[in-house]
Amino acid sequence: MTTLDFTHDPARRSWVDSANDPATDFPIQNLPYGRFRRAGSGEPWRIGVAIGDRVLDLAAARRAGGWDTEVDALLDPLAAGDLNRFMALGAPARRRLRAALSQALGESEGRREALAAALVAQTEVELTVPCTIGDYTDFYTGIHHATAVGKLFRPDNPLLPNYRWVPIGYHGRASSIVASGHPVRRPNGQTKAPDAETPSFGPSRRLDYELELGFLIGTGNGLGEPIPMARAEDHLFGVTLFNDWSARDIQPWEYQPLGPFLAKNFASTISPWVVTMEALAPFRAPFVRPEGDPEPLPYLDAPGNRAAGALDIQLEAWLQTAAMRAAGSPGVRLSAGNARDAAYWTAAQLVAHHASGGCNLQPGDLLGSGTLSGREPSQAGSLLELSDGGKRPIALPGGETRTFLADGDTLTLRAHCEREGARRIGFGSCAGTIVPAPLLP
């Protein structure tokens, strides 16, 4: 997953002019996959690759012909709209098709005449969840987030003893994962005030976001067959942005003793474009534990993971209130950080641990990273941290304040990778607007 080839050349250009814009998230060095259809058409969802401000329709690209036999076979599941079937083919298939698409879209050797008609403007399409997600597990890899939240509830013992030894996670609700742009309805649930004798039921008043990455499984494993660390990355397809919305007032009352439930299952938002592990090859970093922390147990350790298991991804969270939107303001950045500095466990370790007890992962399964907050307060990945548990309102432009999200607020996650000697690539956006809770029955 760390091998570089001609597709990563920062000087490489495309005949799709917008892909050569230094500010685009989708240069020819990226080529992420997603599911789309023409806006308002009601057509079946199809698979495309983002290139500049266009989408290459892979069904139309296949019909254009000119591919060798091997590449034509790889395009078959994608032309049928089945990203999961392509994900199951594994890393060698992805690398082969990446090379073919890069050549076809390349400025000098590309196939402009054949493929121009297969391009659709991104402004003319609607996007959905990029693949079928059968199962979803949310982890807790952000050690600074875990420490900050732990201090709110356990000031003398913020991190539980197992945190530095085992990747903590829980099984979430795959059916309520929605694509960027889908509205997020404020959930109802039970809450209990500290001074109340009995709980009450109603809309959450402490609705929050969580700045996460999502790791999508490519090839799976058989039931009862663990995945060794040395091969764990072979089972990863790519990375998305992920917002696991959280009702902070519902969560503390319901989560003991079995963990999150209604506070988490009402919605999670995923960005529509999957940046493949191959596209991220130039942005790998060593996995290093803080001095004095225990080394991972052998089943969670491997030389390749130590050398380049971390991901150097810049992360941002932006808030646009209804008042800002009415005034034409794009919103305000709440925080910025880097996944490399925030995550205590790597994606490969999550895969290896998840399968270590014999769980069978499948193509399209999603592993959430957990909230990726940095060490500094300005790098916090949730309002729970930014507002110190709701004790310190956050001042916004125009005189507004927030401790938690209000109806009408749009929360947007963004991310990009940028490093000397490599072409900047991005993830698109992961956005959701809060709408009022449903009426009580």
* Model pLDDT, residue 419: 96
Q: How far is the C-alpha of 68 from the C-alpha of 111, rounded, in Å? A: 14
* Stretch (H or E) spanning 355: helix 347-356
* Stretch (H or E) spanning 262: none
Q: How far is the C-alpha of 138 from the C-alpha of 143, rounded, in Å? A: 14
- pTM here? 0.97
Q: CB-based burial of residue 328 (10 Å sphere; 0-12 exposed, 13-18 middle, 19+ buried)?
A: exposed
Distances (CA, A) of 163 to 158, 263, 298, 340, 365: 10, 22, 16, 18, 24
Instruction: Single out the catalytic residue among 8, 144, 145, 235.
Output: 145
Residue 397 CB coordination number (10 Å) = 12
Contact between 40 and 54 under an 8 Å Cβ cutoff? The reply is no
Residue 96 CB coordination number (10 Å) = 16
Fold of 136-435: Fumarylacetoacetate hydrolase; domain 2 (3.90.850)
Can you list the positions of beta strands (E) in 193-235?
A: 200-203, 207-208, 211-217
Residue 296 CB coordination number (10 Å) = 23
Q: What is the pLDDT along the chain (441 residues), one digit of tens a residue?
A: 789 999 999 999 999 999 999 999 999 999 999 999 999 999 999 999 999 999 999 999 999 999 999 999 999 999 999 999 999 999 999 999 999 999 999 998 889 999 999 999 999 999 999 999 999 999 999 999 999 999 887 888 889 999 999 999 999 999 999 999 999 999 999 999 989 999 999 999 999 999 999 999 999 999 999 999 999 999 999 999 999 999 999 999 998 888 889 999 999 999 999 999 999 999 999 999 999 999 999 999 999 999 999 999 999 999 999 999 999 999 999 999 999 999 999 999 999 999 999 999 999 999 999 999 999 999 999 999 999 999 999 999 999 999 999 999 999 999 999 999 999 999 999 999 999 999 877
Identity at 335, one-letter amino acid code: S
Task: Kindly list the domain boundaries of the chain, sorted by start residue.
Answer: 6-128, 136-435
Cis (ω within 30 of 0) for the bond into 260?
A: no
Cis (ω within 30 of 0) for the bond into 257?
A: yes
Contact between 311 and 280 under an 8 Å Cβ cutoff? The reply is yes
The CATH superfamily holding the domain 6-128 is: Fumarylacetoacetase, N-terminal domain (2.30.30.230)
**What is the three-class DSSP state of 105?**
helix
Angle between helices 91-105 and 69-79 (to 10 degrees): 100
Q: For this structure, is 235 an active site residue? A: no
Residue 120 CB coordination number (10 Å) = 19
